[in-house]
Amino acid sequence: MQYELNCIGILTSGGDAPGMNAAIRATTRTAIFNGIKVKAIYRGYKGLISNEIKDFQTENVSNIIQRGGTILKTARSDEFRTPEGRKIAYENLQRHGMNALVVIGGDGTFTGARIFAQEYNIPIVGLPGTIDNDLCGTDTTIGYDTALNTIIDAVDKIRDTASSHERLFFIEVMGRDAGFLALNSAIASGAEATIIPERKTKVDQLKELIDNGFRKSKNSSIVIVAESDITGGANGLAERMRIEHPEYDVRVTILGHIQRGGSPTAYDRIIASRMGVAAIDALIDEQRSIMIGIVNNQIVHVPFTKAIKDDKPINESLVGVLQILSI
């Protein structure tokens, strides 16, 4: 072995996602199972710089698999973006005897990890924790399934009032500039349409909705919109609708941070547990600067550069499914 793996650090960074605690639990217990000490780093890279680090035992992760959020907390860190900040982080890492890291987060987390690993030759393995499902190299990310189910539950309730009042509802969901939550929640909730950033250059999605669907047969309608400057967001689309088609009674619901909360689904708990075990196995096998992913229900290793560089494509066939089923 090129390095002695006797103590790892675990942190969560970026936006929280349901299932992060399951990943923390699995990583901690797998390390301990293999005779490796565990240090918990609170508040992500910010905590690594400010030395918010404590020893973790197996009992520290008891009774957390069902909890949303992250027991390690999370925070943005502008200081970690600087060489000076990363130097302090590395000194704290050495002070606590950590010789590898497991980081749980999204593309920003992995970007920081890749730079940190290059500068100080630190073995780092990442777990994809983001409700957006926008990381390349994995079919799904920790938290995505739970967020999807939260959206569906909310949309089901909104449909009751939309139908009663013959209204057109624009419902905005998270995803930043990725339409995975919007597209799949639209299919699962029986929405009439979705407006996602990936299709912006191909078609006027709002005009398509009016011409092909809502105007012909619907007296109420649900449209799921991905939050994005590209789509204009639910408020922007609703305003355009009021100007171009004032005959419709338009309403907007922005689901917001409710999508990040709640107890993780069984699926998110299972993939987080599998990924946590795989992260330690990868470090033992001397892997570094990789993300643990799942493809066709099998664990895969994805280089950080691939996970964060490429735009994950939308499955175009799902757009067709939605169009067919919304007639």
What residue segments make up the domains of the chain, in order of their start? 7-143+264-309, 144-261
pLDDT at 72: 98
CATH of domain 144-261: 3.40.50.460
pLDDT at 174: 95
pLDDT at 282: 98
Active-site residue 177, yes or no?
Answer: no
Q: How far is 15 from 17, CA to CA, in rounded Å?
A: 7
- CA 184 to chain centroid: 14
Pull the structure tokens for residue 223. Answer: 């449209």
The neighbour count for residue 1, using CB atoms within 10 Å, is 7
3-state DSSP assignment of residue 40: strand
CB 31 within 8 A of CB 5: no
Pull the structure tokens for residue 255. Answer: 């689901």
pLDDT at 176: 77
Domains 7-143+264-309 and 144-261 alike in fold: yes
- Sequence-ordered list of residues with C-beta below 8 angstroms from that of 266, at least 6 positions apart, any chain: none
pLDDT at 255: 97
Topology, domain 7-143+264-309: Rossmann fold (3.40.50)
Q: How far is 137 from 150, CA to CA, in rounded Å?
A: 25
DSSP state at residue 60: G
pLDDT at 290: 98
DSSP H stretches of helix in the chain: 20-33, 44-50, 83-95, 107-120, 144-165, 180-189, 205-209, 215-217, 233-244, 266-284, 304-309, 316-325
SS3 of the chain: helix, strand, coil, percent, to 5: 45, 20, 35
In tens digits, the chain (327 residues) has pLDDT values of 456 899 999 999 999 999 999 999 999 999 999 999 999 999 999 999 999 999 999 999 999 999 999 999 999 999 999 999 999 999 999 999 999 999 999 999 999 999 999 999 999 999 999 999 999 999 999 999 999 999 999 999 998 887 777 678 999 999 878 999 999 999 999 998 899 988 764 557 677 766 665 544 555 689 999 998 888 899 998 998 888 888 888 999 999 999 999 999 999 999 999 999 999 999 999 999 999 999 999 999 999 999 998 778 889 899 889 888 877
- Residue positions counted in the chain: 327
Phi and psi, residue 90, nearest 5°:
-65, -40
Locus of tokens 């066939």: 317
Which residue type occupies 183?
Answer: L
Pick the catalytic residue: 16, 132, 145, 268? 132
| Beta-sheet strand order (sheet of 221-226) | 193-195, 221-226, 168-173, 250-254
